[in-house]
Structure 1
Amino acid sequence: MKILFKLALLSILIYLTADIAIRNDEGGSRPIVQAIGGISLILVSWYNLRNLSIYSKLSSRLTFFKFWRLFIGLMIIYYCIGFNSIPSYHVTNSPRDLVIAIYIFAVALFFFYGTIRQHLSVGLLNTLIIVVLFNGLFEIFYAFITARNIDGVDVINTSAGYIFVMILPLLLFKFQKYNIWIFIIALILTMLTGKRGALVIFIFLFLYGLYNFRWIKKTFKLNWKILFFLVLIVFGYLFFIDSAFESLEYRLLTIQDEKRNMIASGRDVIWQTLLTKWLDSDFIGIIFGYGFFATISLGGNFAHNDFIEFLVDFGVIGLIVYSLVLIFYLRNIGWIKKMNRYLKVLLLFCFLIWLGRAIIAGTIRTDQIILSMSIGYLFGIAIKQKFLYE
């Protein structure tokens, strides 16, 4: 079982790295990366299936996994009936979107089981962190060397900001003695990426963390590790001021495009268009939606918002099931407060990141796998501590 876990983990890391490597590639390598993703999903699913006995015993504690699985099942049904243009001819049957949605769910279970079974060793966890952070740093490097000059400003904009914010809860638990410094470094790295949505999420994480500061370990004891973090922070901040501050300032000031009368890359127009389409549909359309990722046909793009996306695609039914996933996520972490308040804070961090991404960009994206790592790992730790607590 340990060998299977290691192989599956390796496949996940290879897939994430390969996906970033070809993100700006116009063709060529994408089929190879998709094949890697398919093999990885098979390995991850195989490991999960072999741990179903554990899942059944713990399902009463983590019911949000049940609703998450139900939502994935709903997506599969809509994908299948979409070949017959049901519930409408606007259906977009892209297998990639379905596979990514399944993969995101499977990875959360994979890390949950791996943590409980102690297959995710310290060495493997450190390797995971190094690879994920390297991928984020590589994206920043590539964004700098390919920056677009707009109005005399070299504009930097890369999704690596989401990588740092989604791995953050895992890092804050792994290095909890240095959580404040880890948070600041991750924030600086996100500022370098120029990703406005990730920065908005960071603001909410900061406010929530500040509110719970008395429950977060204070790390002001001076030692060589603290000095190392301080050097990284100072260097990172100076580099940001010198190389990326002007770009971030430009992106923040141009969040509203007055020439095209759009806000946040046209999200306001996209959302309004799709909601109008949904409201103008008949009773069946309102209840059952237009079909699998019909937003692409209706509005020319994804909704960049889970709630609007799933409302338009799967109707009221789909929105309710998806909302239940989030609602039961919150309910499932209620019992953790009595046992480990710090762990509950980090799981709420995961929730805020999930919710923020759902509102700002949508979560059916490859890099959402990284948040699944944090969620699965932290819930696994919570269950392990629950056994000891009882």
Structure 2
Amino acid sequence: MNSFDPREGYDENGRMAPKDYDAIVLASFGGPEGQEDVIPFLRNVTRGRGIPDERLEEVSQHYRANGGISPINAQNRALKAAMETELGNRGIDLPVFWGNRNWAPFIGETLQEAYDAGHRRVLTVTTSAYSCYSSCRQYREDLGVALVETGLEGKLEVDKVRQYFNHPGFVEPFIEGTAEGLADVRRQLAEKSEEGAAGIHIMFATHSIPTSDAEAAGPRQEDGSSSFEGDAYSAQHLAAAQTIMDSIPEAAGLNWSLVYQSRSGAPQVPWLEPDINEALEHLAAEGKTSGVVIVPLGFVSDHMEVLWDLDTEAMETCQKLGLAAFRAPTPGTHTKFVAGLVDMICERTVDHHIEGRAATTGIPPWFDVCRPECCVKIMRDGTRKPTVAGADSTVGVPQ
């Protein structure tokens, strides 16, 4: 058995003792729901960076082209409903609230709503699977700040489930989608009487982040270095991708790679590479690839960066290069994904408790409580962003 230290609230593996939670909060990024929302939304996303509205208007065109509406809010409503159904089917009486980082409903409003409804101990599930500042630590900061700003600090207890990049509920939908994509690309090539399996490349795509953020991702060893070979963010994606490739017999012998997308920010700041479009150009120039399966491995749902960066830009690049292409689906509301989220909720609850922690890669199940130096934000001048309320706390405040 793991030994829990009551002073810290978690064991040597970073696992918290089960608790009697009385509500669930689904936390996400948020997005505009009309043309008039686009610039205010982008101001929220870029708050503190001093970016003028003229520049924001330039980057707003992805949303403008879709009526000013990001699909992410509708997808979160669907995910919330699917989680409620799965919880109900298991006889688990936990209401699900939903809050966003950058657009209504905001996380602070959601925590206040949960408190006003009589809830005092909530467990948060986020729509980010991997470890880095923006996909894990920043959510913990958001929750901590929201507790302070609403005056709920010390009144409402908020914890967060582990990062789930290697949970089978997240990985298995990608296995299905990649296999589907491989069959589809082979069909396209057969119709064109072109080379089949030997000329197909699997591209696993994720959001690029500054290399400084990648290097700071994950827990630190005693000397301050990463606990992974390379950075944790990339290592987690590579491990998930390898598991997917190993799980598809028809993919045996095919080449695959991890590529990045959706880069933003100052051009002089290094971000993770290669960009997916540059990688596609390189494959075409080599002349050994006739088709690609693009797997949006870094994303939970088909939000704007999937619809624009992959379905629009990357697919246009494939068409220009004469490459047969298929974009695999994201987990979305896949039954295995929804069941996996509820399984992770049950890992943390007293009632309906699941003792074992499922993981499909060589990386063990992630921590419930991240280490104090995990996924810090490195500022442009090389300094660390100061700790925000709740980011490094354990029991009684955000995890």
TM-score normalised to structure 1 length: 0.30
Structure number with the higher helix fraction is 1
Structure number with the higher strand fraction is 2
TM-score normalised to structure 2 length: 0.30
